[in-house]
Chains A and B, each alone.
Chain A
Amino acid sequence: MIARLLIRDLSQLLPGGQITGARGGSMLPLLFFLAVAMLYPFAVGPDAPLLAKTGGGVIWVAALLASILPLDRLVAPDVEQGVFDQLALRGVSEELVIAVRVLAHWLSFAPLLLLASVIAAALLNLSGDNLQLVLAGLLAGTPGLAAIGVTIAALTAGLRTGAALSGLLLIPLAVPILIFGAGALERQDYGAIALCGAISLVLVAIAPFAGGAAIRAAREG
Chain B
Amino acid sequence: MQECSLTARELACRRGDRLLFRGLDLSLTPGDALHITGSNGIGKSSLMRILAGLMPAYAGDVVRTGAIGLVDERPALDEHAPLGKALGFWQRIDGAADNEYVRLGLADLLDVPVRYLSTGQRKRAAFARLLGQSAPIWLLDEPLNGLDRDAVVLVERIVAEHCHGGGIAVIASHQAIAVEGGQTLAIEDFAK
Please give the residue numbers on chain A whose beta carbons come within 8 Å of chain B beta carbons, in ascending order.
1, 4, 8, 11-12, 20-23, 77, 80-83, 85-90, 92, 219-220
Q: Indicate whether B80 reaches chain A with its CB closer than 8 angstroms.
A: yes
Q: Which of B22-30, B66-74, B155-163 contacts A (4 or more CB under 8 A)?
A: B66-74
Q: Looking across the interface, which residue of chain A has its beta carbon closest to that of B69?
A: A89
> B76: which of A4, A22, A85 is its contact (CB, 8 Å)?
A85
Q: Closest A-chain residue to B70, C-beta based?
A: A89
**Cβ of A82 to closest chain B Cβ, rounded Å:** 3
Candidates B67, B79, B85, B92; contact of A81 at CB < 8 Å: B79
What residues of B have a CB within 8 angstroms of the CB of A92 in the complex?
93
B140 located at the interface, meaning its Cβ lies under 8 Å from any Cβ of chain A in the complex: no
Query: With A21-B85, A86-B70, A90-B94 as given contacts, are A81 and B78 in contact (CB-CB < 8 Å)?
Result: yes
Listed A/B pairs (8) with beta-carbon separation below 8 Å: A21-B85, A81-B75, A85-B74, A85-B76, A86-B129, A88-B54, A89-B67, A219-B54
Report the nearest B residue to A91, measured CB to CB.
B67
Instruction: Looking at the assembled complex, report how far the CB atom of B135 sits from the nearest CB atom of chain A, in whole angstroms.
Output: 8
- Verify B85–A82 contact, CB threshold 8 A: no
Q: Is there an interface contact between A12 and B70, defined as CB atoms closer than 8 Å?
A: no
Of the four ranges (under 10, 10 to 19, 20 to 34, 35 or more), the interface on chain B belongs to 20 to 34
Contact B68–A21 (Cβ < 8 Å): no
Q: Would you give the shortest CB distance from A157 to chain B, in whole angstroms?
A: 14
Which residues 63-122 of B have a CB within 8 angstroms of A? 67-70, 72, 74-82, 85, 89-90, 92-94, 113
A8 to B135, CA, bound (A): 23
- Asked whether, in the complex, the Cβ of B81 is within 8 Å of the Cβ of A86, the reply is no
Interface on B for A, CB 8 Å cutoff? 52-56, 67-70, 72, 74-82, 85, 89-90, 92-94, 113, 129, 133, 135
Q: Contact check: which of B68, B77, B81, B92 meets A89 at CB < 8 Å? A: B68
Find chain A residues with CB under 8 A from B82 CB: 21
A21 and B94 within 8 A (CB): no
10 pairs of A and B residues whose beta carbons are closest in the complex:
A82-B74, A21-B81, A86-B76, A82-B76, A83-B76, A89-B68, A8-B89, A81-B76, A81-B74, A23-B80
Determine how close the nearest CB of chain B comes to the CB of A176; give it in whole angstroms.
Answer: 34
Q: Report the separation of the CA atoms of residues A77 and B114 in the bound assembly, to the nearest whole angstrom.
A: 13
User: Which residues of the partner chain B approach A11 to less than 8 Å between Cβ atoms?
Assistant: 81
From residue A214, how far is it (CB to closest CB) to chain B in Å?
15
- Is B92 a contact partner of A21 (Cβ separation < 8 A)? no
Contacts of B54 in A (CB 8 A): 85, 88-89, 219-220
Q: Is A21 within 8 A of B70, CB to CB? A: no
Partner of B80, one of A4, A21, A80, A88: A21
Q: Are the CB atoms of B92 and A4 closer together than 8 Å?
A: yes
Given A4-B92, A21-B82 in contact, is the A81-B52 Cβ separation under 8 Å? no
Most chain A beta carbons < 10 A, residue from B55, B75, B78: B78
Q: How far is the CA of A89 from the CA of B113 in the complex (A)?
A: 25
Measured in the bound complex, the distance between the Cα atoms of B79 and A140 in whole Å is 34
In the complex, how many angstroms separate the beta carbon of B69 from the nearest chain A beta carbon? Answer: 7
* Chain A residue nearest to B73 in the complex (CB): A82
User: CB within 8 A of B93: which of A1, A20, A21?
Assistant: A1
Chain B residues near A88: list those with CB within 8 A.
53-54
Q: Which residues of B contact A12 (CB under 8 A)?
A: 78, 80-81
CB nearest neighbor in A for B56: A220
Shortest beta-carbon distance from B96 to chain A in Å: 12
| Complex CA distance for A11 and B82, rounded to whole angstroms | 12
A80–B74 contact, CB under 8 A? yes
Most A CB atoms within 10 A — which of B67, B74, B76? B76
